[in-house]
Chain A
Amino acid sequence: MLFDAFSQAVALIMSGDPELFEILWLSIQVSTSALAISVILALPIGTVLAISEFPGKRLCVTVLNSLMGLPPVVVGLLVYLMLSRSGPLGVLGLLYTPTAMVIAQVVLITPIIAALAYQVMDDLHREYRELFQSLGIDSIRAIPTYLWDARYSLVTSILAGFGRAISEVGAVIIVGGNIDHLTRVMTTAIALETSKGELAIALALGIILLMLALLVNAGVTTVRSIALKKAYV
């Protein structure tokens, strides 16, 4: 049975099934949008946290690290409550739209990228701090240098965030609703098709998702090996 489903899945992918690729395209759109917003938010958070000293910094780092393990369904529920008609952002009418899914993924992956970026920047700051002090470069002027010199490690962090976003199901199914042609993405479609017994479609989507995960991992490995070769990590 599994072999039959696998054969059908390959045939479905090879046939260029428009519905399949619509779901794939929406998944990529939602996750890359969430990633872009998260990067804009997370890199400054991680960097500022790493290079500044203030009371409560250790608590902030602990909270940030804890947020890396946010349960997706809890994030979905919180975003749902915010966006539902009776919620504070209900007037925007975003519930069950791709935008709501982007918001949920942003909430989910921003702490991951920020915490990983913090670790990278903190290590770099410990190494460069005295040199920058010696050269008379203050923290603000040092930020572009930190970002540039940590670029390889940061790309790895960002790709980890993308991997988390594209493979997430709990939050997006709550706030997106898995509506056909509107908010159906790969993970929610896999859940639906499996529950319907449509294993071929579920498996086809699963294969594509796995390929995407492989691509992301290949990207991480490539970036890391380039950086290691140049001793840039």
Chain B
Amino acid sequence: MLASQPFEALRSKKPMSDSVIQTHQNAGEVLALDGVSLTVNGKTLLHDISVHSEAQGTTLIMGANGAGKSLLMKCLHGLLTPTSGSIKLLNRPSHETRHQQAMVFQKPVLLRRTVMGNLTFAAPKTTPPEVLHEMLERVNLSGKDQQPARVLSGGEQQRLALARALLTRPKILFLDEPTASLDPASVLIIERLIQEATADGVKSIFISHDIGQAKRLADDVIFLHQGRVTEHTSAATFFTQPLTSQAQAYLAGDVVL
């Protein structure tokens, strides 16, 4: 049934005004980066990134391969420590909001145990079993709770990873190309879950190369080029009037070097 739902169902997003994307620090900020740089082995991979946003919904990070998208996301989530600069999420230093964050990786990392074992590992101890089963139903994995997680298909594994992340009840959800190489049905389920989560007030920060998906999900877009943020605008503006030549080339499908 889920697979038969048209993608059009996901396209009913209201365009976000540029006014909600701030360039200066603000009291209600969800995301605040100031002068974030990352240098590894003498090479600077992220250059002086400053982004401020009080926008809820989904922020999309776009850019060519090697632009620094995943590095930026890892810095935001605290998996990497920036060489300089500060990161605040939900108006607090990033590390203080760690328990309010969750991340779904491009390649799902599943524990060597059953589907249910993976969920119970991450879910709060007090989570009732019916909530776990309901979550499995939402990701279309009902009846597979006792299967070894790592024998599931790629799409099923990623849906399980997303279910596990959502069970931690995050306020900020990081998604690093979660639908890369997945079948349309899995893409649809994952997009629907992300939209449901954002409707519930979860801030999603999403990396994707899929422009169609970006249009379906994004409220605002951060465009990275060679470790620098060259553009941060509402999705409506980004997709209709990209400012930089790199973003224009990227959206046109040209090779961006």
**Residues of chain A whose beta carbon lies under 8 Å from any beta carbon of chain B:** 127-128, 130-131, 133-136, 145, 148-150, 230-233
Comparing B4-12, B101-109, B136-144, the segment that makes contact with chain A is B101-109
- Are A131 and B105 in contact, CB atoms less than 8 angstroms apart? yes
Instruction: List 21 contacting pairs A-B, 8 Å CB cutoff, sorted by A.
Output: A127-B109, A128-B111, A130-B74, A130-B105, A130-B109, A133-B78, A133-B79, A134-B79, A134-B103, A135-B122, A135-B168, A136-B99, A145-B111, A149-B113, A150-B112, A230-B112, A230-B150, A231-B112, A231-B148, A231-B150, A233-B112
In the bound complex, CA of A135 to CA of B102 (Å): 7
Residues of B within 8 A of A134 (CB): 77, 79, 101-103
- Are A231 and B109 in contact, CB atoms less than 8 angstroms apart? no
A-side binding surface: helix, strand, loop or mixed?
helix
Determine how close the nearest CB of chain B comes to the CB of A80; give it in whole angstroms. Answer: 43
Determine how close the nearest CB of chain B comes to the CB of A205; give it in whole angstroms. Answer: 40
Any chain A CB within 8 A of the CB of B151?
yes
In the bound complex, CA of A148 to CA of B114 (Å): 13
Partner of B109, one of A128, A148, A232: A128
In the bound complex, CA of A68 to CA of B121 (Å): 35
In the bound complex, CA of A152 to CA of B113 (Å): 12
Residues of A within 8 A of B79 (CB): 130, 133-134
Residues of A within 8 A of B111 (CB): 128, 145, 149
Using A131-B109, A134-B79, A145-B111 as known contacts, say yes or no to A230 and B151 having CB atoms under 8 A apart.
yes
Residues of B within 8 A of A133 (CB): 78-79
- Nearest-CB residue, chain B, relative to A151: B112
In the bound complex, CA of A230 to CA of B103 (Å): 25
- Are A149 and B112 in contact, CB atoms less than 8 angstroms apart? yes
**Size bracket, chain B contacts:** 20 to 34
- Nearest-CB residue, chain A, relative to B122: A135
Determine how close the nearest CB of chain B comes to the CB of A146; give it in whole angstroms. Answer: 10
Determine how close the nearest CB of chain A comes to the CB of B94; give it in whole angstroms. Answer: 12
In the bound complex, CA of A67 to CA of B181 (Å): 45
Residues of B within 8 A of A136 (CB): 98-99
- Nearest-CB residue, chain B, relative to A130: B79
In the bound complex, CA of A148 to CA of B117 (Å): 12
In the bound complex, CA of A150 to CA of B111 (Å): 10
Determine how close the nearest CB of chain A comes to the CB of B151; give it in whole angstroms. Answer: 5
Determine how close the nearest CB of chain B comes to the CB of A153; give it in whole angstroms. Answer: 10
Determine how close the nearest CB of chain A comes to the CB of B238; give it in whole angstroms. Answer: 28
Residues of A within 8 A of B99 (CB): 136
Residues of B within 8 A of A148 (CB): 113
- Nearest-CB residue, chain A, relative to B77: A134
Determine how close the nearest CB of chain A comes to the CB of B40; give it in whole angstroms. Answer: 16
- Are A145 and B105 in contact, CB atoms less than 8 angstroms apart? no
Residues of B within 8 A of A130 (CB): 74, 79, 103, 105, 109
Partner of B148, one of A127, A145, A150, A230: A230
- Are B78 and A232 in contact, CB atoms less than 8 angstroms apart? no
In the bound complex, CA of A127 to CA of B107 (Å): 10
Q: A133-B79, A232-B150 are in contact. List 7 more A-B contacts (CB 8 A).
A: A134-B103, A135-B102, A136-B98, A230-B150, A231-B151, A232-B113, A233-B112
- Nearest-CB residue, chain B, relative to A132: B109
Determine how close the nearest CB of chain A comes to the CB of B223; give it in whole angstroms. Answer: 25
In the bound complex, CA of A148 to CA of B101 (Å): 26
- Nearest-CB residue, chain A, relative to B165: A134
Contact with A along B106-150 (1 / 0, CB 8 A): 000101110000000110000000000000000000000000101
Residues of B within 8 A of A128 (CB): 109, 111
- Nearest-CB residue, chain B, relative to A230: B148
Determine how close the nearest CB of chain B comes to the CB of A53; give it in whole angstroms. Answer: 14
In the bound complex, CA of A232 to CA of B111 (Å): 8
In the bound complex, CA of A26 to CA of B151 (Å): 44
